[in-house]
Structure 1
């Protein structure tokens, strides 16, 4: 079920959600968190699909903020109506305050004519295990996403902010990121992955995480399992393979450099789009974990004195990565070490 609200305000959205909960016999308190998504129209449906899937493990209220450019698509009559509503709201109502003490922004928006807020409320099959609120601010409201979001947060539930593609250079100081307990970015899917990641690295915070790291969870677990097998000989050197200039590959190398204290070589594997191998050299030979084809999703583990073993290692989906980060809201200490110390050991010039 999708309900569209035109030229609305946050208190109307909140009242409608309460009405829907009452009709369905539900309670917003059943949500374990509020997930804020900052995105654009092109990415919106994909991001909501991922969030809906993840919400089945983590029931949450999803609030997507999708800024709109100008007033395109609105009729002159709607513009006039919106301007009149703004004047009336400013004169007779001003900013209202909800039960939590948060301001509710009038549709006219901070006293500026030509400022609008359109919204969608999605329930049921269109919203996973929660509800979805899509906010489409335009005009002056584009610059006040925090003011729009605060009245709609689930009381006493942690807030997570997620940027599916383009991320702010410093999520901690972003208006949405500042209110979040966890900030999730994905440098790989931005328009300039390395610039985005370097900005995130320089402005690192313990509450930030990038999915370039989350994609490595299975690889790190398997490498750790290999090293747990006897004989426990020290690793002399390490090598990782994958596509050139792949952020996750460099992070894997940085992690190995930190944990093993040995030199790690990054080797380009042309024509690939994910990590393809980890090779650890010891006195008794080389331990290796190879997955030459992401499509086939089959990896081979080779250890000195043992027959090779094949295991299924499919590429992690974005939904799996998002679910993992929603599962863990406390700081990732290992990620912190890789970002603050390990990266410089692999890329000293950065």
Structure 2
């Protein structure tokens, strides 16, 4: 169900959410956190699709702040530019000449839905509330404020927060100069970025490096979790011989590869070489040079990898590529600061040649 509320206020949105809870026999007390997404229209639906799945394990209220107006119908018009009101051309939908928010019944499914919010050019705040199958295990509030309101994004979200629940902020693509100084970011117990989806990933990560904070984490780091776990398990097995050097291979211009190499250089205190291969997909291999030979793990194809050890038969293991849902599930389930990530981008990053 999607309820549209053009030219509205946050207090009206909060009241509408309460009414929806009563209608559905739900309670906001079941939400474990509030997730605030700050994004442009182009990335909105992709981010919400990820969150819809991730929130089934972590029920939460999602507040999406859209930072641009997007290509929406004009005031009182449908998607084809026709007036959406009656013959008098009023701003309301058919049957709603007063322009109030509306719920349209979708044929056959018995739920309410709507198409789009109206253009924000003549409105201060357009919004929509998604619930039920459109919102995973919670509700989604999409806010489309005019630019002046964006400068007060904290005031926009405060009336909509789940009481006594932590706030997590996520920038799926566009990352501000300093997320810890962002108005929403200052309220968050965890700030999640994803520089790989930024228009200029290198510039975005430079901003991350310039303003490290214990509450910050990037999903590029979360994409290395399985690799780090498997590599640590490999090195725990005897014989525990000194490692002389490490070689890491993978996709060129792929930040998880660079972060994994930085982590290994910091933890092992040995030279780490990065081999970037055009046409490779993600991280393809890690090889430890020891006096008895090479201990390595290489992803050959798809979700399968091979662990090779001197004097032993190769061992096949499952090593699937991590999805955005996998990464968000991990971060939403761990709200404490990721101290290792903070050390990697401050101490480990300079130990590797990232050219």
Q: TM-score range by the shorter chain?
A: 0.7 to 0.9
CA distance, structure 2, for counterparts of residue 312 and residue 70 of structure 1 = 42
- Cα deviation 1:186-212 (Å, max 9, x = unaligned): 011101111111110110100000011
- Cα deviation 1:95-146 (Å, max 9, x = unaligned): xxxxxxxxxxxxxxxxxx9551111111111110011101111242232221
Structure 1 residues not aligned, in runs of 5+: 83-112
Give the direction of change, closer, same or farther, for the CA distance of 1:115–1:142 in structure 2 (3 Å limit): farther
- The residue that corresponds to 2:64 in the other structure is 64
- The residue that corresponds to 2:11 in the other structure is 11
- The residue that corresponds to 2:348 in the other structure is 342
Match of 1:219 among 211, 220, 227: 227
Question: Is 1:252 paired with 2:256?
Answer: no
Match of 1:135 among 143, 148, 153: 143
Q: Which SS does the other structure have where 2:181 is aligned?
A: coil
CA distance, structure 2, for counterparts of residue 115 and residue 126 of structure 1 = 25
Q: How many residues align?
A: 317
CA distance, structure 2, for counterparts of residue 336 and residue 14 of structure 1 = 36
Q: Which SS does the other structure have where 1:276 is aligned?
A: strand
Question: Is 1:144 paired with 2:159?
Answer: no
Q: Is the 8 A contact 1:62 1:130 kept in 2?
A: yes
- The residue that corresponds to 1:306 in the other structure is 312
Displacement, 1:270?
A: 2.2
- The residue that corresponds to 2:23 in the other structure is 23
Q: Is the 8 A contact 1:114 1:139 kept in 2?
A: no
CA distance, structure 1, for counterparts of residue 71 and residue 187 of structure 2 = 29
Give the direction of change, closer, same or farther, for the CA distance of 1:13–1:224 in structure 2 (3 Å limit): same
The CA RMSD measured in Å over matched residues stands at 2.2
CA distance, structure 2, for counterparts of residue 71 and residue 124 of structure 1 = 26
Match of 2:338 among 332, 336, 346: 332
Q: Is the 8 A contact 1:115 1:141 kept in 2?
A: no
Give the direction of change, closer, same or farther, for the CA distance of 1:181–1:29 in structure 2 (3 Å limit): same
Displacement, 1:272?
A: 1.1
CA distance, structure 2, for counterparts of residue 347 and residue 313 of structure 1 = 26
CA distance, structure 2, for counterparts of residue 2 and residue 51 of structure 1 = 16
Instruction: Within 5 Å, give how 1:232-243 maps onto structure 2.
Output: 232-243=240-251
- Cα deviation 1:25-82 (Å, max 9, x = unaligned): 211111000000011222111111111111111000000011343996333899x989
- Cα deviation 1:220-263 (Å, max 9, x = unaligned): 00100110111111111100001223211111111111111100
Match of 1:289 among 272, 286, 297: 297
Give the direction of change, closer, same or farther, for the CA distance of 1:11–1:63 in structure 2 (3 Å limit): same
Instruction: Within 5 Å, give how 1:148-187 maps onto structure 2.
Output: 148-187=156-195
- The structure whose residues are more often helix, as a share, is 1
Structure 2 residues not aligned, in runs of 5+: 77-82, 93-120
TM-score, structure 1 normalization: 0.86
- The residue that corresponds to 1:45 in the other structure is 45
Which moved further from structure 2: 16-25 or 156-165?
16-25
Give the direction of change, closer, same or farther, for the CA distance of 1:169–1:263 in structure 2 (3 Å limit): same
